Amino acid sequence: MKPAAQRLNRIRCAQALTPEGWCEYCVIELDASGRITAVVGDDGKPVDLNLNGTVIPGMPNLHSHAHQRAIAGLTEHKLAGHDDFWGWRERMYRANARLGPDELQAVARYVYSQMLQNGYTTVAEFHYLHHDPAGNPYADPAEMSARLLEAASEAGIAITLLPVLYCRGGFSGQAVQGVQKRFFSLPDHYLELVQACALHCADDPDRALGFAAHSLRAVAPEVLTRTLQDAGNLAAGVPVHIHVAEQQKEVVECRALNGRTPIAWLHEICPVDQNWCLVHATHAEPDELRSIVESDATVGLCPTTEANLGDGVFPTAEFLQSGGCFGIGSDSQVCTAPSEELKLLEYAQRLSLQRRTVLVKDDEGSVGRSLVELALAGGNRALGEGTWGLVPGARADLLELDNSHADLAALSSDQVLDSWIFAGSRTGDVSNVIVGGQHVVVDGVHALLESAALPFQQVVATLNDT
C-alpha cells in the first residue's frame, strides 16, 4: 500500500462554496481523520495550504465499474446485428474473462487517478467480478474487492465499495452462463463476501461499505429483501444500490413476466428508502417517478455512459420538479470528468424539451451552480455521507478551479462553475484536489497518473483482440 499522505490541518480559501453561498477568505480546519471541524474567517494564522482559485466541495462519483475503463473506446466498431446495449455487453463480457486480480488493480489505479485529476474525490465502486474467470472463488473470497480498495488507496480517492449480489441469469430464474459465473453468488456466500470486505474497510476513514444488487434480472426482489434482513447490523443505514430500468427490453420483459415494471416491482417488495440509489432508472414512468420521490431514494445518472450505450434520456427535469434527488457517476468510464457528465445531463434535457437552462433549483440562477449543488447532495447521499459540503463534520474533500486559466479568468464565482461545465477545456481547469485532508492533485497533476499508465496500457493491449 502506498504510504498515506500527511493530512492537512488548515486550508485557506480565497473563495469557497458553502451552504450559505460563496465565502471569501475563509479557513477550513480539519481533524486527524480528514473531517472538517470548523470553517472560520481568515484569522491570519499559518495554514498548510493556500487555495487562491474557486473552491467547491469535491464531487462524488456514485456509480463506477472500474474494470470497464480497459475497453473504453474499443467497442465503437459496428458489427452486424450488434448495435445495441446487449451487443456491447457481450464485448464487455469477453474482456471481463481476461481480467485477473493484478489486471483489475492496474486498471482501477489508473482510472481512479484520472477521476481525481478531473475533480472526483469519492467513488462508489459497483463491483461484481468476484471470482476467477471460470467462476471459482479465490482463496480469499474478497480478493478482487481488496484489489479495488488497494487501488483506491494508491490513487488517494475515497471509496464506498458495493459488492454486488448476482443470483440468476434473467427474470425467469435461468442459470448464469459463461463469464456471468464470475459474478454469481448465493445469498449466504454473498454475505460471507460482504463480511470479508468489511474487514478490509475497517479503521480506514477513506473506505466505506455498502450493498448492491446487480438488477432485478439478476436478483429477485424478495431474495434481495431477505438478504438485507439477514445481513443485520452490516446493512443498517448503509447505501444500497441497484441497476433498474436502464433498457426498454428489460422493462418489457419484466412487465410480461411479472405484470409490473422493474421500478414498480422493486418498490412493491423491497424496503426502498433514503439509503437506496436506483442507477439509471432511464425508462421510469410518471407514477414511478412519484414512487421514487415518495421513497426518498436517489437516482444515479451516468449521462455519458447512457448516451454511449443508447439507453435513453431520464426525465430529470420532471423528477427535479417533483422533489427528486439525483447524483452522477462515470459508470463505464468512457468519461471520467464530472464537468462532462453535468454538461451532458443538462444538454440532454435541453434537447428533449427544446428549452434552455433547465436544471436550475429555483426560478432563476446559475445552471452550473445548481448542477454542482444537486450532484453534491445526491452523490454524497448515495455514498452514505449524511453530512457533506464545507461544514463541520463533513469529509474535507475539496476541488479548486484555476481562476487564472484562460477559460475561467475574469469571471464571478457562479460564472466559473458555468464555464467549467459548459465552456471549459477540462485540461487545466482543475488545479488542486484534496481528499479527506490529503493533497492528491497538485497544480493540476496527479503524481501517480504517469506511472499508472504503462500497466494500464499493457492490460488494454491484451484485450484489444477480443
Cα(122)–Cα(117) distance, rounded to whole angstroms?
A: 12
Distance of alpha carbon 246 from alpha carbon 284, whole angstroms: 9
**HSE value, Cβ hemisphere, 13 Å, CA-based, for 70:** 34
Q: Which residues are catalytic?
A: 280, 331
Distance CA 405, CA 429 (A): 7
Cα separation of 23 and 285, whole Å?
41
